[in-house]
Amino acid sequence: MRIVRVETLPVRIKREEAYLGSLPAEADDGAYFMRPPYRALYSAHFETAFVKITTADGVIGWGEALAPVAPEVVQQIIEQLLTPALLGRNPLDGNVLWNVMYDLMRERGYYGGFMLDAISACDVALWDLRGKILGRPVYQLLGGAYRERIPCYVSGLPRPTASERVALAQSFVASGFHAFKLAAGHGVREDTDSIATLRAALGDEATLLLDAHWVYALDEAVQLGHALAELDVGFFEAPINPEDLESHAQLAQAVAVPVAHGETERTRYQFRPWLMQKAADILQPDVGRAGISEVIKIGSMAEAFNVKMAPHLSVGLGICIAASIHTAAAIPNLYLLEYQPPVFEIANQLLDRPLVCRAGAYELPNAAGLGVALDERRLRELQA
């Protein structure tokens, strides 16, 4: 059982609504754009990079990197650096292959970013392959499922006004969802008021979360953190620049609301100091950036510190979502998994069988491997 082919498919799918709401006018030409106060680049498309690994016996494994911009970079890394290291290898050698890929550029300083995104896509595809070869769903290969329904939160509430966000949340409540994350970072007072409005409308039973997108300094984050604790917020995500470990540690010690961190990190090595310095109460690795193998190891490490996991899952499409569901099922210290309804809808259009998320939880696929495969014909139809 040997790997004979590794193919990468960078993808752009036109969308009507951006990740955080309506598209700005400058996005009409397809260029990347910025969305103040956030500092990252955003795209007018759903962008991702799929990988397809095939064995000599014709078994196919699908993977996906979280690549919201420049998916061709992931493609080039896989084609030029990772593929030569994978061809001819046994796909059952999971940990060996992860370390082989990681070591290729380790001494040159590439142990994060696009390099790890590319490794993660291949890692997911290798898990899918192993499941299909052995006739077992991935979660069983990971040690079994702690849960068959994966609790999730509705992410973002991308509406411009407080009343529209309340109405959107209430529409999900009517469908059985009771956990919501607000995409915030608009100032201490505005963020506090936005959460307070949601709390008043949804009541004490709703789980409310806030993502600040790294916009605050330590003093502002402490002020907001105290307000969020009084409003019984489940976690305060990405409050300060991700490089500032010390400020996060001070914040976590100063406020009662749990501090969440992790979508910027890729490996157990990067998460280790956050646990050692008690700088995060909830870790948020993304399977599309860390891979199944590494998220499981991060989860085990976090468990030793009595820290929960809330895997990040933003604009990854169907393969990434399926991989995240299997991984979340196998983590004992899971808090919640992220759910992006517009992304989920597009993702299902690309799959041979749809994933299911209803009444506040994902349903765990039970077929061999990830339980889904990419519909390449449909993918070509939707490409921008």
Q: What is the CATH number of the domain that holds 102?
A: 3.30.390.10
Q: What is the pLDDT of residue 150?
A: 98
Q: What is the pLDDT of residue 29?
A: 62
Q: What is the pLDDT of residue 38?
A: 87
CA-to-CA distance for 245 and 289, rounded, in angstroms?
A: 20
**Res. 27: pLDDT tops 70:** no
CA-to-CA distance for 116 and 267, rounded, in angstroms?
A: 8
Same domain, 58 and 100: yes
CATH number of the domain at 319, please. 3.20.20.120
Structural tokens at position 199: 């709390």
Domain end residue (candidates: 100, 135, 170): 135
What pLDDT digit, counting tens, does each position of 311-329 carry? 999 889 999 999 999 999 9
CA-to-CA distance for 214 and 245, rounded, in angstroms?
A: 12
CA-to-CA distance for 255 and 148, rounded, in angstroms?
A: 34
Percent of the chain with pLDDT over 70: 96
Same domain, 173 and 61: no
Same domain, 329 and 240: yes
Same domain, 22 and 68: yes
Domain end residue (candidates: 82, 101, 135): 135
What pLDDT digit, counting tens, does each position of 163-195 carry? 999 999 999 999 999 999 999 999 999 999 999
State the residue for tokens 């070509």. 380
**Which of 58-62, 178-182, 257-261, 379-383 is the least confident region?**
379-383
Same domain, 228 and 332: yes
Same domain, 93 and 222: no
Same domain, 255 and 368: yes
Active site residues: 213, 312
Same domain, 144 and 12: no
**Res. 19: pLDDT tops 70:** no
User: Where residue 381 falls among pLDDT bands split at 50, 70, 90?
Assistant: confident
Q: What is the pLDDT of residue 20?
A: 61
Same domain, 123 and 159: no
User: Is the CB of residue 294 less than 8 Å from the CB of residue 98?
Assistant: yes
Range of the domain at 173: 140-382
State the residue for tokens 């789980």. 207
* b/e burial code for range 153-176 (CB count within 10 A of at least 16 → b): bbbbbbeeebeebbebbeebbeee
Task: Specify the number of domains making up the chain.
Answer: 2
Domain end residue (candidates: 135, 162, 182): 135
User: Where residue 1 falls among pLDDT bands split at 50, 70, 90?
Assistant: confident
What pLDDT digit, counting tens, does each position of 112-158 carry? 999 999 999 999 999 999 999 999 999 999 999 999 999 999 998 98
Same domain, 164 and 105: no
What pLDDT digit, counting tens, does each position of 262-282 carry? 999 999 999 999 999 999 999
Same domain, 125 and 268: no
Same domain, 174 and 321: yes
User: Where residue 382 falls among pLDDT bands split at 50, 70, 90?
Assistant: confident
